[in-house]
Amino acid sequence: MIYFIKFVAEKNNLINNIMRKNIHPKYQEVIFWDTSSDFKFLTRSTLTSKDTIKWEDGNQYPFIKVEISSASHPFYTGKKIFVDTAGRVEKFQKKYGK
């Protein structure tokens, strides 16, 4: 068993040395904020934002506003809601209306 652990550790070190440096995006903690239900959750992502917000643990994190998440999506909530973002329906009716 010890030899296996040593082999895995050596293999991981070898992989780390082979991977190219400075080509991957920064992977950091970010808050996603569902604006339709005012639900926030902390996760890790390569997305970032200049806007920051204080989280429950007292730290500042960048936040990204989303219009739909599992907290507001009809499939997960069982409720039917109409989401009109940026007046898309009105734009469509104005362009192709009767």
Per residue in 47-97, pLDDT tens? 988 999 999 999 999 999 988 887 777 676 777 666 556 677 777 888 887
**Length reported for the chain:** 98
Q: Is 6 inside a domain boundary?
A: no
Question: What DSSP string runs through 9-49?
Answer: HHHHHHHHHHSPSS-SPP-EEEEEEETTTTEEEEEEES---
Q: Is 34 inside a domain boundary?
A: yes
Q: Is 14 inside a domain boundary?
A: no
> What are the tens digits of pLDDT across the range 24-57?
888 899 999 988 888 899 999 999 889 999 999 9
Q: How far apart are CA 84 and CA 82, in angstroms?
A: 6
Q: Is 78 inside a domain boundary?
A: yes
Find the domain containing 92 and state its range: 23-96
Q: Is 2 inside a domain boundary?
A: no
Q: Give the chain's end-to-end CA distance (angstroms, integer).
A: 75
- Count of domains in the chain? 1
Q: How far apart are CA 51 and CA 43, in angstroms?
A: 16
pLDDT given for residue 45 in this prediction: 93
Distances (CA, A) of 98 to 15, 93, 94, 95: 62, 8, 9, 9
Q: How far apart are CA 98 and CA 93, in angstroms?
A: 8
In the predicted model, is pLDDT for residue 2 greater than 90? no
